[in-house]
Amino acid sequence: MIRVLICDDHRLVREGLKLLLGDAGDIEVAAEADGAVAALAQIRAAHEQAQRVDVVLLDIAMNGRDGLDVLKQLRSEFPLLPVLMLSTYPERQYAVRCLKLGARGYLTKHAEPEQIVDAIRTVAAGRVHVSPDATDALVARLVHEERRAPHETLSQREFQVFRMLAAGQSVGAIAQALCLSSNTVSTYRARILEKTGARNDVELALYAVRHQQVTP
């Protein structure tokens, strides 16, 4: 059996995934977590108690600590543990970034049930799950690596703040959501404006729409 830990802050999503994976026959849900802190605690506890977790199915956007931060932490603590990212965001926005951070695959929550099951089996077997859309994104990234858009030079935290600013969130709201100080977020904002060439949040939002990083 492939033992999966589901980490998603939406209970309905977790319940739906449990039903789906329960029908697979060779997959069982070993544990579930509603956030980053709980996920890391469960994985650490399982490791200490020699209880196997074969795959982590990790939501990319959660309250508090971001899923990509959790991915980086898992890569540091448990480099051999396969992590399969699950997201509402299109693959062109996040798939390449997740794979570069060490994820073994990337799925959208609109994926067909069979695709989710196949992806779990693939990463559990030590391979990487890459969909056709993610493959296209990877090829495009390689082809245009030397002509990267300014937002592609942002650090992971800067990119996270960039998307939240572009979506119209205030510095205060971002600070609260990410558990950071307003001064820290303001520093990230200044770096983002400098790197993208935007002069204010309105120009930053227009930049994000132009580069298909947010929906207009």
- Selected from 3.40.50.2300, 1.10.10.10, 2.40.160.20, 3.40.50.300, the CATH number assigned to the domain covering 149-210 reads 1.10.10.10
Residue 188: per-residue pLDDT:
94
Residue 57: per-residue pLDDT:
93
Residue 215: per-residue pLDDT:
65
pTM score, whole prediction = 0.64
Give domain 2-142's CATH superfamily. Response regulator (3.40.50.2300)
Segments making up each domain of the chain, as ranges: 2-142, 149-210
Same fold, 2-142 and 149-210: no
Residue 69: per-residue pLDDT:
86
Report long-range pairs for 150-157 (Cβ below 8 Å, ≥24 apart): 150/195, 150/196, 150/197, 151/195, 151/196, 151/207, 151/208, 151/211, 151/213, 153/195, 154/191, 154/192, 154/195, 156/68, 156/69, 156/72, 156/97, 156/101, 157/188
> For each successive 10 residues of the chain (216 residues), what is the average pLDDT?
91 91 89 86 81 89 78 90 87 78 88 91 91 68 64 87 92 92 93 90 89 74
